[in-house]
Amino acid sequence: MLIMVIPAQETRENFNWRSLINRQTQGDCMAKKPPVEEGVVRAQLQFLESVYGITILNMNELISWILTEAHTDHEVFGITAALNTWLAVENPSGAVRISETVFRSIAEKIQKKEEFLH
């Protein structure tokens, strides 16, 4: 939920919404997003393990990569959603090692998408 506080001297008619949006996207808004927590990443990956009945052998390494690349929970969800798609296409079973090449390819696409949206 997004709550916007309009300064007292502004009225609804003359408030510059575009200016507010630009300030928010440039990181000038007062509320800063907290850093991504390892537990959020681990939970997402464990969910993928349970859905596909697999074990990710390099779980800690993958978490480290994600924490390095993702700056928000939204980016974490983007990466794990892409991993979900990759797993659905590859249809692995048992023990799985997700290569750094696969991860970097996914992270690069997510980063380009984030840059495009902002």
- Domain assignment of residue 4, yes or no: no
What's the pLDDT score for residue 49? 97
pLDDT tens string, the chain, 118 residues long: the values are 455 454 555 455 555 555 554 444 444 444 556 678 999 999 999 999 999 999 999 999 999 999 998 888 888 999 999 999 999 999 999 999 999 999 999 988 877 766 655 5
- Domain assignment of residue 107, yes or no: yes
- Domain assignment of residue 64, yes or no: yes
What's the pLDDT score for residue 92? 94
Q: What is the 3-state secondary structure (H, E, C) of the chain?
A: CCCCCCCCCCCCCCCCHHHHHHHHHCCCCCCCCCCCCHHHHHHHHHHHHHHHCEEECCHHHHHHHHHHHCCCHHHHHHHHHHHHHHHHHHCCCEEECCCHHHHHHHHHHHHHHHHHHC
What's the pLDDT score for residue 83? 95
What's the pLDDT score for residue 1? 46
- Domain assignment of residue 78, yes or no: yes
- Structural domains counted in the chain: 1
Per the structure, the complete domain to which residue 45 belongs is given by 36-117
- Domain assignment of residue 111, yes or no: yes
